[in-house]
A and B are shown apart, each in its own frame.
Chain A
Amino acid sequence: MKVFLSEEEIPRQWYNLAADLPTPLLPPLGPDGNPVRPEDLSPVFPMNLIEQEVSDKRWIDIPEEVLQLLYQWRPSPLHRAVYLEKALKTPARIYYKNEGVSPAGSHKPNTAVPQAWYNKQFGIERLTTETGAGQWGSALSYACALVGLKCKVFMVRISFEQKPFRKLMMNVWGAECVPSPSTETKTGRDILEHDPDTPGSLGIAISEAVETAVADTTGKTRYSLGSVLNHVLLHQTIIGLEAKKQLAKIGEKKVDVVIGCAGGGSNFAGLSFPFVLDKINGAQIDIIPVEPTSCPTLTRAPFAYDHGDVAKMTPLLPMHSLGHEFVSPPIHAGGLRYHGMAPLVSAAVVEGLLTPKAMNQLKCYESALFWARTEGFIPAPETSHAIAAVIDEAVKAREEGKEKVILFNWSGHGLMDLKGYESYMEGRLTDYPLPEEDLQKSLKSIENLPKPKVAKTGRW
């Protein structure tokens, strides 16, 4: 069962959660320690996107020309996973947005296309970016081809060598993709001189992409980022806004559970933020970002924040899957601090609007195979995290005898990731649950650390 919207029914505004967060985000800080001003960002982004980045308007119009471009694959279909429901014998109704239908095969073009369009409007002629496995690089390459921009992608060398097909996709769309570090930037040359065999890193690739944009004295080059930033999440909200219309079209009045995998946060935010608004307004919805247990950010990372810079990195102490409040073992007095999640998603977690969950990789692959053998589509490995959580919720609904409505984001296909499936099917993947003894030792090591402040209203 699929629910379609016509092009006339596509949402015409994006939703900005920043307008409704109960505890507002504070502005990021610049190198001088002062809040970033919009003009500070102008060397890397066009002003029309900067305005979106800092906007506190709830609804932002999607330009008609952007909609015309999005129509290449949007509105994306809402599927009901009836085959999975039958296989699980669940009374739950499971719906998913199929974002794998985009030309690049994932949700990434939802922001790549508007970003390319806004840059073009601003008079920009070339975009630069960095990419790892190539999902973002290929999405931006496609978007630049649509609007007539040149595109230069710095692909981390280790990924460039492991993922040749994504590089070829970028080339097909007319983009130039070079392994990073490259000889084309001062950053790259310096690194190669010191270590010619370096595998590269995202940090180096970002440096090269930013240098290329900023060093262009014509002012016609800008940089583009595919996750984390507010305007990226904003563009992705078309997913959830479409889903609401599609559910309404078939008479589904209430969603009980919303699920998405969470890496940098953009696909999760895209589906969930419109439902977070409902929750802020009183709706009872479980909204679950799912991440891997192998590298958890939301469920385990201690979101320590530098003093004086509150709200976005406040410590989180959610329940660990073993039932413990857990913080990663400190490697030194203060413990490792990491924050790779979009500030808007982090803030919603801190506020209690979201309930993060972690899934181990074997369960995810098992779920992905079960999905492929029932619903047919082969999901991207990250999408399989959401599927594993959906199956858990559906089984829970069966055990409780509840007719829940579960909605999730099928964020992309896995046709470029079949090596991971091969490893799983050949039994070469294993899970490494943390031994209870180590867990207790870790907890003991942090018990005397000061408890940081958490900026939240306490409503959820």
Chain B
Amino acid sequence: MVRIASSPYEDLETGCPMLGHPVPLRYCLEPGSELPCRRIVLCWQERFDIAGLLREVLTPEQLEELEKAPKQKISQLLELVAKVKKGS
């Protein structure tokens, strides 16, 4: 999991379009996964230089991973199915 150094903005809140309620920036930075939320730049770019923050705290590999085009929902589901079957 990415641990991002404290930011003066991390307690700021924005409405999360995925969850449907407000979340603090620190959630978008560490949403229970290895990378920040894929939407983080879209959701925060109007408030401060989020892209600059990410460039500071993420490795080039992590940035590259974050920038990859997300798969379609169906493709995501099939990957999960394959993962479950592989693990069982």
Contacts and interface: CB of A to CB of B under 8 A. Distances in A.
Interface of A: 28-31, 36, 40-41, 43-44, 53, 132-135, 156-159, 162-163, 181, 186, 191, 194-195, 198-204, 206-207, 210-211, 214-215, 223, 225, 228-229, 263, 291-297, 300-301, 304-306, 312-313, 328-340, 343, 361, 381-382, 417, 419-420, 423, 431-434, 438
B5 interface: no
Nearest to A162: B21
Contact of A41 (B16, B69, B77, B82): B77
A211 B74 contact: no
Interface of B: 1, 14-23, 27, 30-33, 37-39, 41-43, 45-47, 49-51, 54-55, 60, 63-64, 66-85, 87-88
Contacts of B76: 206
B49 to A, nearest CB: 8
A159 B81 contact: no
Contact of A331 (B30, B32, B66): B66
A292 B73 contact: no
B80 to A, nearest CB: 4
A215 B71 CA distance: 23
Given A28-B72, A195-B1, A210-B81, 11 more contacts: A28-B74, A36-B74, A132-B20, A198-B32, A214-B80, A297-B17, A306-B69, A331-B50, A361-B15, A419-B22, A434-B45
B43 A295 contact: yes
A160 to B, nearest CB: 11
A87 B87 CA distance: 61
In the A-B complex, list the 4 residue pairs whose CB atoms are closest, starting with the nearest: A133-B20, A132-B19, A295-B43, A28-B74
Given A158-B19, A181-B32, A44 B27 contact: no
Contact of B18 (A214, A332, A340): A340
Nearest to B76: A206
20 contacts: A29-B75, A40-B78, A43-B81, A132-B16, A158-B27, A163-B21, A199-B30, A210-B84, A215-B84, A223-B77, A293-B46, A295-B42, A295-B43, A331-B41, A331-B67, A335-B67, A336-B67, A340-B70, A361-B15, A420-B21
